[in-house]
Structure 1
Amino acid sequence: MVDSTESNALEKSSRVKSIQGCISENLSLTVASSQPQFFDPQPAKIKTIQVFRWNPDKPEIKPHIQTFKFDMYWLIRQSPMVLTALIIIKEKLDGSLAFRRSCREGICGSCGMNINGVNTLACTCRVDDNLSKTIKVYPLPHMYVLKDLVPDMTHFYNQYRMIRPWLITK
């Protein structure tokens, strides 16, 4: 019994040392290059996502679909949802991408968009593990678009005020 716990302790300490080695190697790689490179013992699992893009500030550029490729490793580290993929794209690939988000729990509805032809919440829609399938993200089809995936909520809020969905005391 004692031998197995000692071997488990040795195994754990060797894992900790190897992880510390990976972390120090990771830090040296990120400092050495302008583009951050991260140590990943697994081969890269590249996922493709196509996003609707439109910027009203640049009328010469028509609405179009932009393709992004990112490593699934980042989703595994955080959460495997489409909203997380969009956040990763915004942080690491293209800071000009615009979309709405708030609670990340499927309650508020602010991240509503059309994903692979289905109107859904990006925070509750999982990214498919099949790398050959492309994710297609569009704004909600029944709303005007302000920029990229951001819908104009003016009409929604006007209707919301009209129906008064709250308790009214006398």
Structure 2
Amino acid sequence: MSFVTLAFLNKVSDEEAVNILRKFLDNAKKRNKDFEYVWIAERQTKNDAFKGNVHFHMITNKYWKVEKWWNYWIELQIKNGIKPRKKDFKPSSAFDVKQLNSSNIRSIASYDTKYITKNDAKFKRQVWNWLKRVSELYTDFYTTTEFTNQFKRLNAVL
């Protein structure tokens, strides 16, 4: 499993961001029929150049060839009208991957849960989503029941 952060080359509207993310995920699903993910939108707070810009965190069951997918993420943005703020600006942080293991899975799940359940930023689009195959039982395997209980409080899990 991997923890992936997807950031943008320049300012982007919420609608543009989700549209580009959808295209990215559709491509990943085409290349791996068993691809599963949960994504969360977050506003940037520490980057003064893009303060308030949306970026995404994902937990996936995919091993990512970083160079290949980093280039694809950059090219996809440019193809969809998100121009780099400076010529040839391709930040390595635009596509960041951390492998999940038994020592960090709970902290990553807690981090994502915090943003799903306590995110007070305003968005014009949904702030999280998961592939339909990701079930409550599968999620619960990696987390405490408090994780899924927070989804239940949001009426996100029946």
TM tier relative to shorter chain? under 0.3
Bigger helix fraction? 2
Larger radius of gyration: 1
Higher relative contact order (CA 8 A, sep 6+): 2
TM-score normalized by structure 1? 0.24
Q: TM-score, normalised by structure 2?
A: 0.25
